[in-house]
Amino acid sequence: MPGKKIIWKFFFIQTVPILISLIIIGIYISFFFKEYYIKAITTQLKSNSLLIRDIIKADIQEKDIEKLNLVTKRLGREINTRLTIINPEGMVLGDSEENPQKMENHSDRPEIKEAIKGRIGKSSRYSTTLKKDMMYLALPIKDDAYRVIGAVRVSIPLDELENRVGQIYRIIGWGGLLAVTISLGISFALARRVSRPISQMAQAAKMISKGDLSRRIREDSRDEVGDLAYSFNRMSEELQRQMGDLAREVSEKEALLSSMIEGVLAIDRDEHVILINQAAQRMLELGPDDALGKFHWEVIRNSEINNLFKEVLKTKEQKEVKLQIGPLDERAFMVYAAPIRAWGGNILGVVAVFHDVTEIRRLEKVRMEFVANVSHELRTPLTSIKGFVETLKRGAIDERENAVNFLDIIERHTDRLNQLITDLLDLSRVETGKKKMDFQPIKVEELINRAVSHFMEISNKNRPKIKYNIPSDLPMVLADEEGIETVLKNLLDNAVKYTPKRGEINITSTDKDDYIEIAVVDNGIGIPSRDLPRIFERFYCVDKARSRELGGTGLGLSIVKHIIEAHGGTVGVESEVGEGSRFTFTLSKVSKPE
């Protein structure tokens, strides 16, 4: 099109000289303005510095740092300028905006170097403290003998200069844009007035249809085309806002559902799964893509849950059920299902919330077993005591030999009750964390020596031998001395009770990577493999009759387990019937200083 070439020629002839002239003028004006502005700032800073120097000179000579810092902050507020006081070594004595104790040494600052030499120092640079370009002016502070005793530095941000220069550039830029626009308008005239905005609208509409809702078109004219462009842009903005709100709501709901510990599953009126969170996927053992869009009975292999959905859809009323899930019904759930209603009351589907109560049921079972065990352990000695007391009251008390024998039995049962109550209290304190642990570096050899020595005091010739040989160079452990003594005494007591008179008990210790492993090994009767998983449970005894006969409460190993776990260690047991048992526990080594 011939006219098009002429249009572009006129455009360049008119526009290029204007733009070049504007650029040259802009560079000259900005350079001149910068020089003038910097001179004005320098004069202002110098005037402030001279005034401040005379005010704080006496405080520097008196070396009153606290007062100096307060005066610095006050003066900085009064002159609305950052003020810093530095000694000849570069240490900041006071600063109007920052804590001097947290500021680095300023001896390497160019303006400070000049001021310490007795001259006026000036510098402009980027402040890493304030994160902006600053202009600094520093003056020396001299005593009566004209010796430099410090420097006063004032600074001011160069934001204003940059803003002013930016304004100049913007004015020139707008002028250039105006010139280009006028030239472009003259060149293109009415030929492009209609075609250009329509072309833009078509292109923007294509991009919006592809999902780019940020596209806008220019609103150049005030005629019908301009009105159309305005309406198009407002429509795009509203669409973008609504889509943003929708995406944000969806994201918030997904985050809320994902963070819930309860499982959430929803179906529509046609019984298709429309929502399932991560917790529900874990509870029902489903993958992330296994459920959505499918019928609930296709993905949930539990008739009670499927019947629950159907019943709520039918009755339109909420319902709560308890159920067991798993091959062996090992997991317990409370499921609450309710209809999803629209504004008009129509049922859109059903939402169900799954609460995993497996741990609650387990704790309840443990509590009931514990109460039953405690009741049994208390009732047995109390029944015996009552029986022998009644026998004594009926006349046996007059038969000295029988009376003494009965009283000995009563005493043993009383001691057993006392030991049982003591063990229960100790176990409760350890479990609830009420037992105070004093973790200190301790030698393993000393712990074992103390426990064995205490045990030997109450031992007799008919008991098995206790042997131990602990390396003297074994690293120290971080432990509560009283607690570990209790652990060793309980393990030794347990080993002695179930080891023959001529048997042998060995205590060993091994240095592992990050911990010390201590083992109590006996060659006693051993423990059946079926009992090993429960050996550390409260009141669990392999042979209850033998344990009661030997004075055991059934709590010793449970106390051992909880004390070691409070130390962050582990306990273990290996045993074979007729061969003996090996109980182990670990303690953390004391960390070496780096």
Residue length, the chain?
Answer: 594
Name the fold adopted by 260-356. Answer: Beta-Lactamase (3.30.450)
Kindly report, residue by residue over 356-401, the tens digit of the pLDDT: 887 777 767 766 766 666 666 667 677 777 777 777 777 777 777 7
Tokens of 52: 């401040």
CB atoms within 10 A of CB 390: 10
Do 444 and 586 meet the contact criterion of CB atoms below 8 Å apart?
no
- The yes or no reply on domain 361-432 and CATH 1.10.10.10 is no
The residue written with tokens 């009563």 in the block is 410
Tokens of 49: 């510095």
Residues of the chain with pLDDT under 50: 1-3, 5-6, 190-191, 545-548, 551, 594
Tokens of 319: 């319902």
Distance CA(312)–CA(479), nearest Å, equals 58
Do 519 and 583 meet the contact criterion of CB atoms below 8 Å apart?
yes
Domain at 2-163, CATH from 3.30.450.20, 3.40.50.2300, 3.40.50.300, 3.30.1330.40: 3.30.450.20
Which residues, 6+ apart, have CB-to-CB distance to 232 below 8 Å? Answer: 201, 204, 205, 217
Do 287 and 281 meet the contact criterion of CB atoms below 8 Å apart?
yes
Among 37, 28, 15, 13, CA closest to 169: 28
Distance CA(214)–CA(518), nearest Å, equals 69
Domain map of the chain by residue range?
2-163, 260-356, 361-432, 439-588
Question: Sign of the CA dihedral 220, 222, 224, 229?
Answer: positive
Distance CA(517)–CA(475), nearest Å, equals 11
Classify domain 439-588 by CATH architecture: 2-Layer Sandwich (3.30)
Three-class SS state of 492: helix
Strand 132-142 versus strand 515-522 pairing type: unpaired
Question: Strands across the sheet with 515-522, in order?
Answer: 465-468, 504-511, 515-522, 580-588, 571-576
Q: What is the pLDDT of residue 197?
A: 66
* Eight-class DSSP state of 542: S
Beta bridge partners of 151: 86, 140
Do 515 and 476 meet the contact criterion of CB atoms below 8 Å apart?
no
Strand 121-127 versus strand 263-268 pairing type: unpaired
Do 534 and 558 meet the contact criterion of CB atoms below 8 Å apart?
no
Kindly report, residue by residue over 260-318, the tens digit of the pLDDT: 778 888 888 888 888 888 888 888 878 767 778 888 888 887 788 888 888 888 888 88
Q: What is the pLDDT of residue 582?
A: 92
- Domains 2-163 and 260-356 alike in fold: yes
Distance CA(297)–CA(401), nearest Å, equals 78
Question: Sign of the CA dihedral 199, 203, 206, 212?
Answer: negative
The residue written with tokens 């001896």 in the block is 107
